[in-house]
Amino acid sequence: MTTAAPFPGPSPSAPAAAYGPASDLLLPLYGRRTLDGMRLNGDRAPVKELITRPSPA
């Protein structure tokens, strides 16, 4: 009986942004899930604040 080799890690020559969990790529798009009711707190909140902020007179 043979055991499979563990999943190989990233190549030492690969750039840092070329690997990592897929969730790291999706978080900016879909937001982070919080524990309180699993609400989505995405990156749109700062943009909405900038859009709705009154302009200085």
Q: Is residue 37 part of a domain?
A: yes
Kindly report, residue by residue over 7-52, the tens digit of the pLDDT. Answer: 555 555 545 544 455 555 555 555 555 544 444 455 555 566 666 6
Q: Is residue 13 part of a domain?
A: no
- Distance (Å, whole) CA 2 – CA 8: 17
Kindly report, residue by residue over 12-22, the tens digit of the pLDDT. Answer: 554 554 445 55
Residue 33, beta-bridge partner list: 40
Q: Is residue 39 part of a domain?
A: yes
Q: Is residue 45 part of a domain?
A: yes
pLDDT at 27: 54
- Distance (Å, whole) CA 26 – CA 22: 7
Contacts 24+ apart (CB under 8 A), 36-45: none
- Distance (Å, whole) CA 42 – CA 44: 5
pTM comes to 0.17
Q: Is residue 26 part of a domain?
A: yes
